[in-house]
Amino acid sequence: MGEPVPEVNDRRVLFGTPDIAVLKDEGFLCADMHFHTNASDSFTEPEDAVVLARSKGIGLAITDHNLVQNAVRLADRKDIMVIPGMEVSTTDGPHILVWFYDPQELQSFWRREIRPRLQSCPWLALRDCKVEQLLDLLEPEHCVVSAAHPMGYFGNNKGLEACIRKGYVDKSVLKRFDAYEVVCSGMTHSSNLQACESAKRYGLSYTGGSDGHILEAVGTAVTAAEAADRTQFLDAIAKNRTLVVGQEKDIVGKVLTGSASMVRFLEHAPSAIHIQAKSASYSAVRASRKATKAVVRSVKGRKKDQS
C-alpha cells in the first residue's frame, strides 16, 4: 500500500477554480507560476498565453525547460505582470522552478551556467547539474526557487520530494529552497495533497501553477500574494506569505497536454530517447546502490547483535 494521503488543513491552499475577482477584491495579485511555451515542449505562442492571462486578470510566469528566450523577451510588458523564469531539468531528476526578479540577470545566468550544460534535446536533463550543483550556482543570484510537482509524475524522479523519499537526494537541500509547488494542475489530487503536507512540515512557502503546455491551461492554478508588482510578489513567496488556489486537469486536459509534449519530443528523436534512457539507467544504478547499502547495514547489524 502507498503512503496515506493527508488532509489539507491549511487555509492557504484551496482546491477549485480560482475566483480571481474575489482574490483581487481582497487585495491579492495572482499569477500562474508554471507555464510552458513553444521554446520548449509546447506549441503555445507566448504572446497568446500572455494575452489570455491578462484577460483573466492574472500574471504569468514563463518557465520553459532549461530555456529562457520567451521569458526574457516578454518580461518587461507593462500591461501584465510577466515573471521571468525557467524550469530546470536537473541531472539527477527533480525539476526545479527558478524565478528571477530581473530578466537580464536570468539571461546572464542562463548563458553562463545553463547553456553549456544543454543536451541535444535542450529541455531534457542537463549535463553535470544535479540539484545541489544547481543550488550552488543559484546561491549568489537574486531569485526565488521552488520544487516543481514535488511528487513527480507516474512514480518518476522528476519531483524533489519523490527523490528525497527514495533516498536519491539528501533532505538537507530543503533548507536552500524557498517553496514547494503544492498545487500543480498536471498532478493527481493525491500527489498535490502530499506536496501540501510536505511543504507545511518543512516550513516552506507555497506556490501553484498550471504546468500548462496548451493555451487553455493558463490560470487553472494560481499563486496569490498581497503585492503590487513583480518584486513584491516574489518577495512574498520568499517570505512564505502566499496562498494557492487551483484544480487538477481533467482526463481530456491531461491527454491534450501529453500529446502536445510528446509531439515536440518526437522532433528531437532519437536524441530524446537516448537522453531519457540514460536518465533511466542512472535511476536504476541509484536504486541498486540504495538496496546494496540496506543489505550491508542489515548484515552488519546482525553481526553486531551476535557478538
Can you give the three-state secondary structure of 10-77, one letter per residue?
Answer: CCCEEECCCCHHHHHHCCCEEEEEEECCCCCCCCCCHHHHHHHHHHHCCEEEECCECCCHHHHHHCCC
CA–CA–CA angle 149, 155, 160 (5° rounding): 40
Read off the pLDDT of each residue in 75-94 and give the average, rounded to a whole number: 97
Q: Which of 1-15, 70-84, 136-150, 193-207 has the lowest mean pLDDT?
A: 1-15
Percent of the chain with pLDDT over 90: 74
pLDDT in tens, 212-260: 999 999 999 999 999 999 999 999 999 999 999 999 988 877 677 666 7
Q: Which residue has the higher pLDDT, 297 or 43?
A: 43
Tally of CB atoms within 10 A around 98: 25
pLDDT band at 286 (very low <50, low <70, confident <90, very high): very low
CATH number of 13-306: 3.20.20.140
- Which tops the pLDDT comparison, 53 or 259? 53
Task: From 209, 154, 153, select the one nearest 180 (Cα to Cα).
Answer: 209
pLDDT of residue 299: 47
What pLDDT, on the 0 to 100 scale, is given for residue 122? 93
Query: How sure is the predictor about 302, in pLDDT bands with cuts at 50, 70 and 90?
Result: low
Task: Tell me which residue of 154, 155, 210 sits closest to 181, measured CA to CA.
Answer: 210
Please give the pLDDT value at position 111: 98
How high is the mean pLDDT of the chain?
Answer: 88
- Digit-coded pLDDT (tens) for 156-173: 899 999 999 999 999 999
Cell of 259: 500529446
Residue-level pLDDT at 305: 60
- pLDDT tens, position by position, 168-208: 999 999 999 999 999 999 999 999 999 999 999 999 999 99
Q: What global pTM score does this model have?
A: 0.85
Residue 288 has pLDDT above 80, yes or no: no
| Rounded alpha-carbon distances, angstroms, from residue 34 to 38, 169, 221 | 14, 23, 9
Separation between Cα atoms, residue 139 and residue 148, nearest integer Å: 19
110-124, pLDDT tens digit by residue?
999 999 999 999 999
pLDDT of residue 265: 60
Look at residue 264 in the predicted model and tell me its pLDDT. 67
Give residue limits of the domains in the chain: 13-306
Largest Cα–Cα distance of the chain, in whole Å? 74
